[in-house]
């Protein structure tokens, strides 16, 4: 049927856009291409003028409408014909109940799959992000329950944008192309960055707690003093990544590639590094309490405070992350080595002495006693008995 609407709906439309996005007339004008002045937007909103048709598609996108819906909405007299979708809906309504249930089940399965599949970028969210950090963060403050949909966003399409301090918490950034992006101090808490490209990006001081970074490419990125506590870095590429003083506590970094990564002063407590590649890493000052390293490939870990790129004849490299801090401390504190050596010798002699006393008394220590002593010294039972025999012969000679 023909539309008979004569009312100028642009004032309502413009106000709806601004209220939903949370922007001023000036910001809306700058959002359009080509940009217009705030006075022109004000004229639209007061009904004194109407937008040129070249802006209609952009306004429709901000309302998440297609062009046909937009034409119908503003009442231009465009003939409205039944779309294939409407015809399909009419057909579904006419189905018997048992067939309707089958269709409903099929639609439900498809909807669930759509939720799991790659979602398209929300055009409104992308347009807002193009405005820069200030406008974006203001919109996030006004819309705290909205999850930004930026799947696959390409930062190169946003121009020379600076995202320092941007609030992208909980955003869908899967497979985003963010190479060389400036994300210093960004709020990325709980965001989904799986398979994202972040090569050479600057994420220093960024908050990435509980972020999903599975299989993300962070090679040569800067994460100095970044907080990644509880993040999922499984299979991530962290080759030559700067992680000085970063908080990686309780992260899942299994199967991650940390070849050449700078981990000086990083917190790795309770971190899962099972199956990870740890070669040529700089680990001076790293905290490694309860770190999991089963299956990790550890090689040439540099204990120098100057990092892997600076090596000298005094540089100590080891093949075990937990051993690195111990050897570095011993190398720089000779007294510590003597105390440690004395402590170990006293413990060994005390344990061995108990066994020797039993042997002198003609009493053979039980296998349980031998096994317990061996475990406490992290020796095999054969090694323990051999050591005891050697000490006994030295004491009696």
The last residue of one of the domains, among 97, 116, 135, is: 116
Q: Of 153 and 67, which is predicted with more confidence?
A: 153
- Domain hosting 369: range is 334-396
pLDDT tens track for 152-168? 999 988 888 899 999 99
The last residue of one of the domains, among 62, 93, 116, is: 116
pLDDT tens track for 198-229? 999 999 999 999 999 999 999 999 999 999 99
Q: How far apart are CA 121 and CA 295, in angstroms?
A: 39
Residue 392 lies in a domain: yes
pLDDT tens track for 30-43? 888 889 999 999 99
Count of domains observed in the chain: 3
The last residue of one of the domains, among 23, 56, 74, is: 74
Residue 380 lies in a domain: yes
Question: And the tokens for 259?
Answer: 């070849």
Is residue 29 domain-shared with residue 57, that is, in the same domain?
Answer: yes
pLDDT at 181: 96
Residue 378 lies in a domain: yes
Share of the chain above pLDDT 90, in %: 42
pLDDT at 5: 40
> Please, which residues have CB within 8 angstroms of residue 252's CB and are 6 or more apart in sequence?
231, 232, 233, 234, 272
Among 48, 85, 49, 52, CA closest to 66: 85
Residue 376 lies in a domain: yes
Q: Of 238 and 371, which is predicted with more confidence?
A: 238
Residue 219 lies in a domain: no
Mean pLDDT on 50-79: 74
pLDDT tens track for 98-139? 777 787 778 777 666 655 544 556 888 988 998 899 999 999
Block residue for tokens 């089963």:
294
What's the CATH code of the domain at 21? 1.10.260.40
Question: And the tokens for 151?
Answer: 């799947």
CB 387 within 8 A of CB 380: no
Strands 277-279 and 297-299: parallel
Is residue 340 domain-shared with residue 365, that is, in the same domain?
Answer: yes
Burial 91-118 (b: 16+ CB within 10 A, else e): eeeeeeeeeeeeeeeeeeeeeeeeeeee
Q: Of 91 and 193, which is predicted with more confidence?
A: 193
Is residue 353 domain-shared with residue 392, that is, in the same domain?
Answer: yes
Torsion sign across C-alpha atoms 289, 290, 292, 293: positive
pLDDT at 70: 75
Residue 103 lies in a domain: yes
pLDDT tens track for 251-278? 999 999 999 999 999 999 999 999 999 9
Confidence category of residue 360, pLDDT binned at 50, 70, 90: very low
Is residue 344 domain-shared with residue 373, that is, in the same domain?
Answer: yes
Is residue 95 domain-shared with residue 46, that is, in the same domain?
Answer: no
pLDDT at 107: 77
């Amino acid at each position: 049927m023909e539309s008979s609407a004569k009312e100028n709906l642009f004032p309502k439309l413009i106000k709806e856009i601004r209220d939903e996005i949370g922007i001023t007339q000036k910001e809306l004008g700058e959002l359009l291409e080509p940009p217009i002045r705030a006075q022109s937007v004000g004229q639209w909103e007061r009904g004194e003028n109407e937008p040129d048709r070249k802006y209609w598609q952009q306004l429709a996108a901000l309302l998440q409408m297609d062009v046909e819906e937009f034409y119908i909405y503003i009442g231009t007299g465009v003939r409205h014909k039944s779309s294939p979708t409407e015809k399909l809906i009419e057909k579904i309504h006419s189905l018997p109940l048992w067939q309707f249930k089958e269709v409903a089940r099929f639609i439900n399965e498809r909807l669930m799959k759509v939720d799991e599949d790659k979602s398209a970028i929300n055009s409104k969210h992308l347009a807002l992000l193009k405005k820069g950090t200030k406008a974006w963060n203001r919109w996030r403050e006004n819309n705290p329950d909205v999850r930004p949909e930026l799947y696959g966003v390409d930062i190169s399409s946003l121009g020379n944008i600076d995202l320092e301090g941007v609030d992208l918490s909980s955003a869908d950034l899967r497979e985003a192309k963010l190479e060389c992006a400036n994300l210093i101090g960004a709020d990325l808490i709980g965001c989904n960055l799986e398979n994202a490209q972040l090569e050479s990006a600057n994420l220093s001081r960024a908050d990435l707690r509980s972020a999903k970074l599975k299989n993300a490419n962070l090679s040569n990125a800067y994460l100095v003093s970044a907080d990644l506590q509880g993040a999922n870095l499984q299979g991530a590429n962290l080759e030559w990544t700067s992680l000085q003083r970063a908080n990686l506590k309780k992260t899942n970094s299994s199967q991650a590639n940390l070849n050449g990564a700078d981990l000086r002063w990083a917190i790795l407590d309770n971190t899962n590094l099972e199956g990870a590649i740890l070669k040529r890493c700089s680990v001076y000052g790293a905290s490694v309490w309860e770190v999991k390293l089963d299956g990790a490939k550890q090689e040439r870990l540099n204990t120098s405070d100057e990092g892997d790129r600076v090596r000298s004849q005094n540089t100590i490299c080891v093949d075990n992350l937990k051993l690195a801090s111990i050897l570095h401390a011993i190398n720089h504190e000779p007294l510590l080595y003597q105390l440690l050596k004395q402590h170990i010798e006293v413990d060994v002699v005390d344990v061995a002495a108990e066994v020797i006393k039993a042997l002198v008394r003609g009493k053979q220590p039980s296998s349980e006693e031998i096994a317990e002593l061996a475990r406490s010294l992290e020796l095999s039972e054969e090694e323990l008995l051999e050591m005891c025999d050697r000490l006994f012969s030295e004491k009696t000679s």
